[in-house]
Amino acid sequence: MNNINEELSRVEGLIKSSGAEFYGNRHKLDREWWVLGRTFKLLRQCGNCDCLFALATKPPLPDFQILKADGNLSHHVEIAESLEDGRHRHDEMKLRLAHPNPLGRSIHVIDDPFISLRKVVSQKFCKTYASGCWLIVFFSIGGLQMSEYYSMPWSQMVFNEVNSWSDNELSPDISACPFDRVWVLDSGGQSLVSIFPRLEVLVEEAW
């Protein structure tokens, strides 16, 4: 089993040293460790989880087994990523990191930044997972790309989106959620909200 804190530190060092390469397929598991590490760091800040260890697994199991200090299983975690619809993370990051001037990196506002979130959550809801499984969705779209960024906190934008699902039959049915908990982590790994079994702000970056 691996210490979640140590894996987070390892991957954050890897991000600095590997540049755009980090966003390729080779480092998919490393990115999942980062999402897991950032989420559990925020949960520990709030006193919501005291688990320190995890074990990466392979399908059909969820992505991680979360272990207690004695090595016994606490619960499972499935990791998902919500990108801008139609874009590939590796290509996007290569373009940004290759630009010689950070101020010249283009930031465009996305009309509907939640298209991918709806698709990802719907897909995950259609699968069967072991009991006691959590879903963590990494929302990989920056606040500046969201049209309401200057008028409301990121968490409220997410909650408004989830609240709209009950009025749209093409959106996920949150009442049919197969997970014990569903968390959404912001693009910087600084803000964390729960969207199931209740809407709740765990940590929000200063707004």
What residues form DSSP beta bridges with 54?
2, 66
Average pLDDT over residues 161-175: 92
**Beta strands across the sheet bearing 73-82:** 2-3, 53-56, 64-67, 73-82, 133-139, 181-185, 192-196, 200-203
Compute the mean pLDDT over every residue in the chain, rounded to the nearest whole number: 89
In this predicted model, what pLDDT tens digit does every residue of 33-50 receive, in sequence order?
999 999 999 999 988 888
Model pLDDT for residues 111-142, shown as the tens digit of each residue = 899 999 999 999 999 998 888 999 999 999 98
Q: Given CA atoms 147, 150, 152, 158 in this order, what sign does their dihedral have? A: positive
**Cα–Cα distance measured from residue 44 to residue 125, given in angstroms and rounded to the nearest whole number:** 27
Give the model confidence (pLDDT) of 82-105 as tens digits: 998 876 555 555 555 555 555 445
Domain map (residue ranges) of the chain: 2-203
Tell me the residue type at 180: D
- DSSP string covering 114-149: THHHHHHHHHHHTS---TTEEEEEEE-S-GGGBTTT
Least confident of 96-105, 163-172, 182-191: 96-105
Instruction: Record the tokens describing residue 19, joined without a space.
Output: 């540049």
pLDDT of residue 100: 53
Is 157 or 144 the better-scoring residue by pLDDT? 157
What pTM does this model have?
0.89
- Residues in contact with 104: Cβ distance below 8 Å, sequence separation at least 6, in sequence order: none
